Amino acid sequence: MRTRIQEFRKSQKLSQADLAEKLSVTRQTIISLEKGRYNASLELAHKIARFFDKTIEEVFIFDED
């Protein structure tokens, strides 16, 4: 699964640490999400989408392989 978290984060001029703090997760979690090494829980995916005022589908790109 790919994400657009980095794109949305940078458009709001937020560092990874800033976003992590706002979402109550670690900076490492943000790094892993942006690099596609970690799949967010449904709860976290919802929190991220709401933070950026997007739908989950706009933030997370599901590969249908």
| 3-state SS assignment for residue 53 | coil
- Tell me the pLDDT of the chain averaged across its residues: 95
pTM of the prediction? 0.91
Q: Answer yes or no: are the C-beta atoms of 3 and 51 closer than 8 Å.
A: no
| Mean pLDDT for the stretch of residues 27-34 | 98
Tell me the C-alpha distance between 34 and 29, whole Å: 9
> Residue 63 corresponds to which amino acid?
D
Q: Residue 33 above 90 pLDDT?
A: yes
Domains present along the chain, CATH in parentheses = 2-61 (1.10.260.40)
pLDDT single digits (tens) 10-20: 999 999 999 99
Dihedral sign of CA atoms 16, 9, 65, 56 in order: positive
pLDDT given for residue 54 in this prediction = 98
Q: Residue 65 above 80 pLDDT?
A: no
